[in-house]
Chain A
């Protein structure tokens, strides 16, 4: 087909140009487009990443390790790990349950439910923190009750976990729903008809089928859980060594003009982001349909409805 086109054109045009994309921009324009795109990505994405590491190491490795192993930094790292260790499993259980209900059954209001699951994405992180203050704060709905029993939610670890659960709420569900929908329910029906129980079917049939989608959701959920700033900042109270997560610790150090230490802790979070991207690329390579899974969820749903 391509050869046909160039054979018919009497104008002598260099072959590679014609072969790839007849009617497309010539080589110079193509290089210019690539150049502009890379320059844009460089200024907005690559340079910020480089600047984190360059600032963190600006005063040498000794200062870097001192900043990272400072007791307040270690406490912040511990709290961040603890928060993610609670928030991610909670959202995994929810994501699996929601995906099971949505992918395996037909019921009214399914599309509304999917929209509601996405709701936390439409809410500003600051408002996510605010809602828990309105519910659990001193002047909140349960405030007097909590105070009477000396329970602390807001400005304490439970509040940080709750705010994190809120902002990471949709991640696992929205990755898992399309994967489970694509899997259909033939495998499960076969297993059940052969005498497997519901749990056996889930553990031995469904879960292995959707494991890559589940890893993908966990990866993204974890990255957001460890990196969340706005929501956690509102409910934390910023008590150093007690209610400071890593991103909050970065802010405190930065506001104290302790830039090297701030960037040192930030570089750990940047490493986490790079690991997340590497894991994401790996999973997308294993399972190419994961890439656009989130979009397919809505599409498939609409097709079912119409």
Chain B
């Protein structure tokens, strides 16, 4: 330890203007990080905002408040919200089962949860459509019951549920695994019913991570495109999502319209991201606070 310390001290003496750390490459790596981040992400993204300012307030507002755009935004955010809520319930259940119970092929099931991350969205889209179409494996069971999934807004919810599932499971699962079982055992020996233990002991510790998972699934689902367009049917005013409307406007060379919708979506997504960051901070203070 002592020779190392002297070496460090010597260096510091020789080069007084050096940053405090002896490790080299700070300027190079941070400089490259900033340059690459600016070139790939920040400057191109700012183009959207600069372009939309060129539109003029009037035109921007006209585009964004047109019934077709409003309906697409409502569907994108509404279906994403419903899908995230479904995932919050079933994702919690899946995380619970994976964290608490032993059953055959558990490792395989655990790995399968990540499939929506790994499967290209276009593949997910055509697979879900084939599955839920009126003549598909599941669709042929649901159609006689009067439930039409493919080519309706319900199909959008199904696709977004698929996309969002891993976010909830993978956020809740580690917290469940870390949860101190002795607290539950204490509650049980003190006479709490299973339901009381769950509501009063487990859920309070779980809320922050569940909410974070919900928000992550929601954020991902809002912008999702590939898995939705196949199953949605894409009828304007009915089952047309906002990202698809951007593509449609681009194909009609309506760059102004596409940019205006993009700016609204970006602003909403960024606020969501800030909220998620805040949530994770809250989750951590709670976690450490315990």
Residues of A within 8 A of B (CB): 1, 5, 21-25, 30, 33-34, 36-38, 40-41, 43-49, 51-52, 55, 93-94, 97-98, 100-101, 104-107, 113, 115-127, 130-135, 137, 139-141, 162, 165-166, 169, 185, 188-190, 192-193, 198, 201-202, 220, 223, 226-230, 233-234, 246-248, 250-251, 254, 259, 262-263, 266, 269-270, 272-274, 276-278, 280-281, 291-292, 295, 298-299, 302-303
Contacts and interface: CB of A to CB of B under 8 A. Distances in A.
Contacts of A169: 40-41
B11 to A, nearest CB: 9
Contacts of B162: 44-45, 48
Interface string B26-47: 1011101100110011111101
A61 B98 CA distance: 37
B224 interface: yes
- Dominant SS among interface residues on chain A: helix
Nearest to A219: B118
Given A36-B93, A165-B40, 13 more contacts: A33-B96, A33-B97, A36-B90, A49-B115, A97-B29, A119-B41, A122-B270, A125-B225, A169-B41, A192-B24, A227-B121, A227-B122, A277-B112
A51 B127 CA distance: 6
B174 A295 contact: yes
A281 B111 contact: yes
A107 B31 CA distance: 13
Nearest to B226: A229
A134 B259 contact: yes
A22 B112 CA distance: 30
Interface in B31-69: 32-33, 36-37, 40-45, 47-48, 51
Contacts of A43: 138
Given A131-B44, A134-B48, A135-B47, A189 B225 contact: no
Nearest to B25: A198
Contact of A34 (B103, B121, B137, B192): B103
24 contacts: A22-B185, A33-B97, A34-B101, A41-B113, A44-B161, A52-B123, A55-B130, A104-B25, A105-B23, A120-B41, A124-B224, A126-B243, A127-B243, A127-B265, A165-B40, A166-B44, A192-B23, A193-B8, A246-B120, A269-B122, A273-B115, A277-B118, A280-B118, A292-B170
Given A25-B194, A41-B94, A134-B259, A105 B30 contact: yes
Nearest to A165: B40
Contacts of A198: 23-25
B262 interface: yes
Contacts, number: 309
Interface of B: 3-4, 7-8, 19, 21-26, 28-30, 32-33, 36-37, 40-45, 47-48, 51, 90, 93-94, 96-98, 100-101, 103, 107, 109, 111-124, 126-128, 130-131, 136-138, 158, 161-162, 165, 170-171, 174, 181, 184-185, 187-189, 192-194, 197, 219-220, 222-226, 230, 243-244, 246-247, 250, 255, 258-259, 262, 265-266, 269-270, 272-273, 277, 280-281, 284, 288
B101 A166 contact: no
Given A38-B109, A229-B120, A266 B127 contact: yes
Contacts of B90: 36-37, 40
Given A124-B243, A189-B22, A273-B118, A5 B189 contact: yes
Nearest to A226: B120
B123 A266 contact: yes
Contacts of B25: 100-101, 104, 198, 202
Given A40-B90, A133-B250, A107 B30 contact: yes
Contact of A124 (B117, B165, B184, B223): B223
Closest 4 CB pairs of A and B: A23-B188, A124-B223, A227-B120, A229-B226
A119 B101 CA distance: 36
Contacts of B171: 295
Contacts of B4: 189-190, 193
A230 B112 CA distance: 24
A187 B25 CA distance: 16
A65 to B, nearest CB: 19
Nearest to B76: A124
